[in-house]
Structure 1
Amino acid sequence: MIRIESDRLHLRTFVEKDAKDLAKLMQKNKYFWATYEPLHDAAFYTEEAQYRKILEGIHLQRSNREYSFGIFTKDEQQLIGHISLYAIKRLPYSSAFIGYSIDEQFTRQGIATEAVKEVVQFGFNVLNLHRIEAYVSPKNIASIKVLEKSNFKREGLLRELLYINGSWEDHYIYALLQGEYF
């Protein structure tokens, strides 16, 4: 298990016992998050499905291909989001993508920005990545602000990148290089 402490948050990689809380978080934010990501079938939002997802994440972490963290309140009493470094590629790329979601009740408090900065630091300092990328919908102003506050730079528009709830959606690609971070 990997733990990261910040001023207001406790981030740690998921373990099997988190499945129930993760399923509750997913169910609670199903329609809020569906604005910018696909809705899933009902089975996805169950404790069993989240348990399997956590097991897959543990396997990917062991093979150094993904790190999925729960975002908890400082006292670790409440799961309020999740954040991942995923699709990790080693040289010649040495890159990964970052993705995050915050419980609607905790948005607009700087939590996503704080979590992104901590996971970026982990990616550059511990995993020694060269580049961290993010996709974001042009409609997702809040997430764009998170990335820009975290010093990510917009590199372009990827047309009709993702099929989300019945239509193809454009996404910006943002990136942060290790040399820009330090």
Structure 2
Amino acid sequence: MRSEQVHIRFLGPEDAAEKLKLETDNREFFEGYSMTRYSDFYTLPLQQELIEIYAEQQENDQAYSFGVFENATNLLVGAISLVQVTRGPLQSAVVGYALDKRYNNKGYTTESVKLIVDYAFQKLALHRIEAGVMPGNDASIRVLEKAGFHKEGIAIKNVQINGEWRDHQVLAIINPRDP
């Protein structure tokens, strides 16, 4: 799936080294906003294993993990996922994303979120996509709002980041095709 500046695609074994570089180059930046990661996360074998896990999750309709690639260079500049895919009466998922700090403020994340929302609504027939953002991360909140998400409230101490339980602003988008 492609937009003006980026495209997203499922990661394959050939992407493991580039994913490791993305994670290593942005370790401090990403860890400021994501769940605690252990040192073995930053190894090629674990990145290879994670890509295999992503494929299994996709096959089992549990999660869908994509790489974000810059169109001009075809470089991996980020990652975006739909996780906690729930079927039945909910038909929902949670979106998460991370973009290389060198590519921030170019619209790449907004385009990536729009692409994955289209995928979720058109290909997966989901009804709702939710996101959680730490209050104060205004850039990420703006990304989601530009992609059509609306604020719903604050989830108190719902994600542990660097050993501390943190609040998250909950945002969501509903499939416009659903009544």
Q: TM-score, normalised by structure 1?
A: 0.94
2:147 to 137, 150, 155: 150
1:16 to 4, 13, 18: 13
**Distance in structure 1 (CA, Å) of the matches to 2:165 and 2:36:** 14
**Distance in structure 2 (CA, Å) of the matches to 1:16 and 1:111:** 24
Q: Secondary structure at the match of 1:43?
A: helix
Q: Secondary structure at the match of 1:24?
A: helix
Q: Secondary structure at the match of 2:40?
A: helix
**Partners of 1:154 and 1:174 within 8 A in 2:** yes
**Distance in structure 1 (CA, Å) of the matches to 2:73 and 2:11:** 12
114-123 or 165-174: which moved more? 165-174
Amino acid of the residue matched to residue 73 of structure 1? E
1:174 to 2:171 alignment: yes
**Partners of 1:10 and 1:75 within 8 A in 2:** no
**Distance in structure 2 (CA, Å) of the matches to 1:171 and 1:180:** 28
- Residue correspondence of structure 1 range 107-126 to structure 2 within 5 A: 107-126=104-123
**Distance in structure 1 (CA, Å) of the matches to 2:66 and 2:166:** 27
List structure 1 runs of 4+ shifted beyond 4 angstroms. Answer: none
Unpaired segments ≥5 residues, structure 1: none
**Distance in structure 2 (CA, Å) of the matches to 1:155 and 1:34:** 25
**Distance in structure 1 (CA, Å) of the matches to 2:7 and 2:72:** 7
**Partners of 2:84 and 2:94 within 8 A in 1:** yes
- Residue identity over aligned pairs, in percent, reads 38
Unpaired segments ≥5 residues, structure 2: none
**Partners of 2:36 and 2:160 within 8 A in 1:** no
Q: Secondary structure at the match of 1:85?
A: strand
Counterpart residue number, 2:76: 79
Counterpart residue number, 1:132: 129
Say which structure, 1 or 2, has more relative contact order (CA 8 Å, 6+ apart): 2
**Distance in structure 1 (CA, Å) of the matches to 2:35 and 2:28:** 10
1:159 to 2:159 alignment: no
**Distance in structure 2 (CA, Å) of the matches to 1:133 and 1:180:** 17
